[in-house]
Structure 1
């Protein structure tokens, strides 16, 4: 009779139930593993053999058959080591098989019997809680698993101590949830001198979760202002922090079980590949757009990214998720991000400055800006031209208003949106759409007239029209106005994309 141990296989942010079935069959000694396992899972035979030998036990002289069920579900990762070892020990009679049936098991084994961390433990803990089972995991990831709530967690440092715990010879203490990081140190808006228009656009983008593109010459403060954005965004609430941590758990970046209330801020280099940005690889992992979920994805030097890489962001920006298609599976990761991008107006960066611009202006600007496709630009709500900072601005004292004052206004606007969209599955104005947006963002008479006139003159797409309404609603929220008025629409229109340089 086969011994069965429960574990999981990860498919995006979903933990699928997997049974590890081990049976000892009379015949020539062999150790066979089946069930659509990848190379890392296949190599677990040697790690399991070494870990059991480290305890002074020998494998029985029989055929060892290990089946990972369901057999048609791809199995990836080293976290199958521990459940295979426990199922084998159960088949050998070392551990009570009925005790094993009450647990979900994940963990990688070392040849000396140590239980090493493996990605995705938080997802496994949530799955175990849903199945009303306990979780066995590595000791280093006990604090991470403890965030799942009501699930009982057994966090073992090595295989021997785990066996002693299951047999009642030793008691492993229950882990406590990891620490929560509430604050992040970063640049303050008080460091930005001048650029009042750009700082106003940054505040609107933060208040409504809007995408923002800053275009200006080198050294004008674009990257500094983008780095200031996490300091004015409201912290993650408990549900959002858990959602972000699930992505980090799958990616293996949730160190020490520490959750954070600070929104993610990811800034990949412009040489990043499509798999690095949107996810993928031999073992499908979340990309930068998913690691920035519920936070900020900052793309500096936007036209220097490969065009195909940038265009791969179109679907995530529209739907808030990214799907990675493979021959044997489709994996979906969340990707509700706020895109902040920065670029120079042309390759030399000094378009419009007669003393510094190259001889190819304005043709070089048209060629440079054309590297970013129109459909991607159409998904960016706020476009702002950042002017160079003069020596007079640099000599001024620091501004009286810094990130703390702006963050207070942003938090108040976000609170208004949370109350407005409660129960609709929408967090910010940037996510509102359809009839919901029509109900909350329809301008007054003067505003509608201006918007209709501008839509014709600017040849707005349906997407562009919707995004102007979203930005206008955010401006009205910052103005503590129940109604979207003409001045709110006018300011939103001023941030819309300009015609390309001819």
Structure 2
């Protein structure tokens, strides 16, 4: 007779239910795992055998076959250890079969029977809730999985505790959710002296989730400004926190099972590979753009990134998701991020300072920023030049507004957008609006429309550039508390669009 329990296999942020079947039959003693397992899953039989031996449980001298169904779905990871052990214990009548069938389990077994934490407990709990089953996981994963209130979560520290729970000798109380981690405001805009135009661009970008490029000499404060972007963004909503945490759960980045309300801030180095940025590699793991979902992706020294890596950002910026294509599957990850990029004006960095620039000026600047392709630059909403900071600004006793003050205006603008788009699923901020919806909410007054027409004709704006100006103008109007988009709002949006003309 076949004993069954359940576990999950991960496809992107989706956890697919896998039925673990175990049959003990007459024949030569053997222990085999079938159903397209990878190396780690195939090795589970040795870990399970050793863990049961540590509990003084001897396997019968029969043929043990474990099937992972559906058999054509690739199975990867060490989290299959616990469900295989659970199905085997049910097959040899040590635990009730009906209890095993009502469970979704995941966890890695050590040789002495301890349960080792694994990634993906949060998506697994979501899948268990949809199946109306109990989730069984390692104790360290319990606080993370318990955030899904729709299913009971049993978190055990060892296989011995699992046995005690299923036999009724020592039931385990359901796990409790981890702590909600609040926002950390350790970097304040008051630390940045001068650069008022760049600070304004930072505020607009935060309010409408518009992509920002800062170009300036080394030491002008570009990285310092970007690092303060999380401090002016509103905390993650409950839905956003769950979306982000599921991706971080798959990457093993959740801290002690707590769900953070702080927006992610990812800053990959310019030597990062394409798989590291967009996702892929072994197991098609999420990349930096997905880890920055609902947060900030900071690309410092943007022209230094490989051209192929930069070009892969074009489609995710537009669609808000990335597809990692493999021969046997297409894995989708969400990646709706706010891109903040920084670049020097040329290779030496001192294009605007004749006394310090190289002999190739101005050609060196055109060649350097020319590494950023026109189509990618067209997707950048705000472009601002960051000049060197004057000593008079550095000596100022008061650097300006604090992050908390700016964050209040950003939160008010975001609140107005949430109310505006409440009847439009999938649209949360102005950057998401498109088509007829964008025309309805961001059409400027006649004077603004005339100005935009002149700019489009004079500078040859693409359709994408035209619409991005409208979105930025709508955000500027929201920051000003204006119901309508007027000429001053359009003029300011245009000024940021043309600050660094087409990246040349």
**What CA distance in whole angstroms lies between the structure 2 residues aligned with 1:501 and 1:156?**
56
1:218 matched to 2:218: yes
Provide the secondary structure at the position in 2 that maps to 1:477: helix
Q: Give the Å deviation of 1:38.
A: 1.0
Q: Give the Å deviation of 1:448.
A: 0.6
* Unaligned stretches of 5+ residues in structure 2: none
Aligned equivalent of 2:411: 411
Aligned equivalent of 2:501: 499
Q: Give the Å deviation of 1:192.
A: 0.9
Aligned equivalent of 2:458: 457
Q: Give the Å deviation of 1:350.
A: 0.5
Count matched residues: 502
Indicate if the aligned counterparts of 2:142 and 2:155 stay in contact, CA closer than 8 A.
Answer: yes
**What CA distance in whole angstroms lies between the structure 2 residues aligned with 1:191 and 1:6?**
53
Q: Give the Å deviation of 1:397.
A: 1.3
Q: How does 1:74-473 map to 2 (within 5 A)?
A: 74-425=74-425, 426-473=427-474
Aligned equivalent of 2:43: 43
Q: Give the Å deviation of 1:450.
A: 0.7
Indicate if the aligned counterparts of 1:186 and 1:227 stay in contact, CA closer than 8 A.
Answer: no
Indicate if the aligned counterparts of 2:207 and 2:414 stay in contact, CA closer than 8 A.
Answer: yes
**What CA distance in whole angstroms lies between the structure 1 residues aligned with 2:137 and 2:355?**
64
Provide the secondary structure at the position in 2 that maps to 1:290: helix
Indicate if the aligned counterparts of 1:298 and 1:341 stay in contact, CA closer than 8 A.
Answer: yes
Q: Give the Å deviation of 1:387.
A: 0.7
Q: Give the Å deviation of 1:501.
A: 7.6
**What CA distance in whole angstroms lies between the structure 2 residues aligned with 1:463 and 1:16?**
38
Indicate if the aligned counterparts of 2:416 and 2:478 stay in contact, CA closer than 8 A.
Answer: yes
Provide the secondary structure at the position in 1 that maps to 2:282: coil
Indicate if the aligned counterparts of 2:31 and 2:63 stay in contact, CA closer than 8 A.
Answer: yes
Supply the RMSD in Å over aligned alpha carbons.
1.0
Q: Give the Å deviation of 1:351.
A: 0.4
Indicate if the aligned counterparts of 2:278 and 2:290 stay in contact, CA closer than 8 A.
Answer: yes
**What CA distance in whole angstroms lies between the structure 2 residues aligned with 1:28 and 1:280?**
41
Indicate if the aligned counterparts of 1:107 and 1:137 stay in contact, CA closer than 8 A.
Answer: yes
1:484 matched to 2:485: yes
Q: Give the Å deviation of 1:352.
A: 1.9
Q: Give the Å deviation of 1:500.
A: 5.2
**What CA distance in whole angstroms lies between the structure 1 residues aligned with 2:281 and 2:48?**
27
Give deviations 1:137-161, integer Å, cap 9, x for gaps. 1111110111001211110000011
Indicate if the aligned counterparts of 2:413 and 2:479 stay in contact, CA closer than 8 A.
Answer: yes
**What CA distance in whole angstroms lies between the structure 2 residues aligned with 1:216 and 1:54?**
63
Indicate if the aligned counterparts of 1:365 and 1:501 stay in contact, CA closer than 8 A.
Answer: no
Q: Give the Å deviation of 1:288.
A: 0.5
Give deviations 1:1-56, integer Å, cap 9, x for gaps. 11111111110011111101111121111111111111111111111111111101
Runs of at least 4 residues of structure 1 off by over 4 A? none
Structure 1 window deviating more from structure 2 (98-107 vs 290-299): it is 98-107
Indicate if the aligned counterparts of 1:3 and 1:21 stay in contact, CA closer than 8 A.
Answer: yes
Give deviations 1:49-96, integer Å, cap 9, x for gaps. 111111011111111111100001111111110000010111111111
Provide the secondary structure at the position in 2 that maps to 1:20: strand
**What CA distance in whole angstroms lies between the structure 1 residues aligned with 2:467 and 2:82?**
52
Q: Give the Å deviation of 1:171.
A: 1.8
